[in-house]
């Protein structure tokens, strides 16, 4: 009985070993948790490029790709081809890089973007652009004719009036078109954070400040009834090149790779805590520069000012003492006399 049990155990082990490679080969690849959470929240990912052909500066061609799985690509056109893929971030299971690659043959690119389309949206969703916009700046606004912006209408003044902001970038309070767009270089951190209170979900999208292809812009666009929205990361190529007097690039490849973090988020403070922890995730740590400390600079300035006052009190020609010494009741302007020049 013992020998029979031993052989039976060996056979089971051998069978398990024999089938292990086959099971490993036949097992489906692990699904990306970030993409699954985005799908569950009704968030879709797409990429788009607007191209002006070298043969015609009037007509343009649009390339657009929607991400169904971890990789997607559009049909190759005469002007170029657009591909979209997802790259996991090492050490961060809740983050992925959405990589949009645009291969160009000869045209000029006017826009290249990656968008997260929120199919289920609400005014209650919290939107933050670090250092520029909090809660979407969703307040009533007034355009001021001069600075400082002051309220002039009697109905806008009083303790019971809701908050009113100047004409700064903001999402609209009422119905109709609503969008906010910011340059990445104008933000404290090149990122957009969104808190969805209904599902307790936090989404943070980060990007580089600037690349050889152009500057990065971040935007949130809402539809008229606020039931849908899009978070857009784009590259502005034509505007950047025009400002610097450089002709737009005519060929090659462009790459846009925003980083998307998706995580459980209990409330708005939790979103800000995660945003603070990730603020250097894409741009890297700020390089420290050895400079003169403020205390040492002030000491040098104080020494220079004191020596100038000393020279002035001794009576150099053309510099009166009162012009260099601060006024004080104990200091008189007659601290020195000038001897008339003899003929």
Mean local confidence (pLDDT), 109-120: 91
Q: Which residues have a Cβ under 8 Å from the Cβ of 239 and sit 6 or more positions away?
A: 214, 215
Residue 69 pLDDT level (bands cut at 50, 70, 90): low
Is 248 a residue whose pLDDT tops 70? no
Percent of residues, the chain, with pLDDT higher than 90: 38
Is 314 a residue whose pLDDT tops 70? no
Q: Which of 182, 164, 161 is nearest to 173 (CA)?
A: 164
Asked if residue 338 is part of any domain, the answer here is: no
Mean local confidence (pLDDT), 234-258: 64
Residue 326 pLDDT level (bands cut at 50, 70, 90): low
Which pLDDT belongs to residue 40? Answer: 92
Does 243 share its domain with 211?
A: yes
CATH of the domain at 197: 2.70.98
Is 3 a residue whose pLDDT tops 70? no
Is 313 a residue whose pLDDT tops 80? no
Does 179 share its domain with 318?
A: no
Which pLDDT belongs to residue 145? Answer: 75
Does 54 share its domain with 142?
A: yes
Which pLDDT belongs to residue 159? Answer: 87
Asked if residue 134 is part of any domain, the answer here is: yes
Does 207 share its domain with 137?
A: yes
pLDDT tens figures, 182-222: 999 999 999 999 999 999 999 999 999 888 888 899 999 99
Number of domains the chain is built from:
2
Asked if residue 72 is part of any domain, the answer here is: yes
Mean local confidence (pLDDT), 126-138: 94
Does 313 share its domain with 250?
A: no
Contact (Cβ atoms closer than 8 angstroms) between residue 104 and residue 73: no
Identify the weakest region by mean pLDDT among 13-17, 37-41, 214-218. Answer: 13-17
Mean pLDDT estimate for the chain: 78
Mean local confidence (pLDDT), 294-305: 89
* Range among 46-55, 108-117, 121-130, 321-330 rated most confident: 121-130
User: Which pTM value belongs to this model?
Assistant: 0.70
Is 227 a residue whose pLDDT tops 60? yes
Helix and strand numbers (H, E) in the chain are 5, 18
Does 43 share its domain with 175?
A: yes
Is 320 a residue whose pLDDT tops 80? no
Asked if residue 10 is part of any domain, the answer here is: no
Asked if residue 57 is part of any domain, the answer here is: yes
- Judged on CB neighbours under 10 Å (0-12, 13-18, 19+), 92 is middle
Enclosing domain of residue 73: 33-277
Does 222 share its domain with 86?
A: yes
Asked if residue 8 is part of any domain, the answer here is: no
Does 94 share its domain with 166?
A: yes
- Return the ∠ at Cα 207 (arms to 206 and 209), rounded to 5°: 130
Does 172 share its domain with 310?
A: no
Does 199 share its domain with 313?
A: no
Asked if residue 75 is part of any domain, the answer here is: yes
Residue 162 pLDDT level (bands cut at 50, 70, 90): confident
Residue 80 pLDDT level (bands cut at 50, 70, 90): confident
Q: Residue count of the chain, please give it.
A: 343
3-state secondary structure of 214: strand
Which pLDDT belongs to residue 142? Answer: 86
Does 194 share its domain with 242?
A: yes
Which pLDDT belongs to residue 148? Answer: 83
Asked if residue 330 is part of any domain, the answer here is: no
Residue 177 pLDDT level (bands cut at 50, 70, 90): confident
Does 57 share its domain with 135?
A: yes
């Amino acid at each position: 009985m013992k020998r029979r049990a031993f052989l039976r155990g060996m056979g089971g082990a051998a069978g398990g070993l024999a089938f292990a490679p086959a099971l490993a080969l036949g097992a489906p690849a692990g699904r990306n948790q970030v993409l699954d959470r985005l799908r569950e929240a009704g968030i879709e990912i797409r990429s788009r490029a607007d191209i002006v052909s070298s043969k015609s500066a009037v007509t343009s061609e649009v390339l657009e790709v929607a991400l169904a799985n971890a990789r997607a690509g559009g049909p190759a056109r005469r002007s170029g081809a657009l591909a979209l893929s997802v790259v996991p971030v090492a050490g961060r299971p809740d983050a992925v890089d959405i990589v949009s690659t645009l291969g160009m043959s000869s045209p000029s690119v006017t826009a290249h973007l990656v968008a997260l389309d929120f199919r289920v949206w609400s005014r209650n969703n919290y939107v933050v652009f670090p250092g520029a916009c909090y809660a979407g700046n969703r307040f009533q606004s007034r355009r001021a004719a001069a600075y400082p912006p002051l309220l002039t209408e009697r109905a806008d003044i009083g303790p019971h009036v809701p908050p009113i902001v100047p004409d700064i970038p903001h999402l609209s309070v009422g119905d109709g078109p609503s969008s906010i767009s910011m340059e990445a270089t104008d933000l404290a951190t090149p990122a957009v954070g969104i808190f969805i209170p209904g599902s307790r979900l936090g989404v943070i999208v980060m990007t580089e400040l600037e690349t050889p292809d152009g500057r990065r812009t971040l935007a949130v666009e809402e539809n008229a009834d606020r039931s849908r929205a899009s978070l857009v990361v784009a590259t502005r190529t034509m505007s950047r090149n025009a400002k610097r007097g450089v002709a737009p690039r005519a060929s090659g490849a462009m790459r846009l790779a925003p980083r998307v973090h998706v995580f459980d988020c209990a409330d708005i403070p939790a979103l800000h805590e995660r945003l603070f922890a990730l603020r250097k995730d894409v741009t890297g740590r700020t390089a420290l520069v050895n400079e003169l400390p403020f205390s040492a600079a002030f000491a040098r300035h104080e020494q220079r000012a004191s020596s100038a006052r000393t020279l002035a009190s001794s009576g150099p020609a053309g510099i009166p003492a009162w012009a260099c010494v601060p006024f004080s009741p104990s200091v008189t302007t007659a601290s020195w006399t000038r001897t008339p020049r003899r003929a």
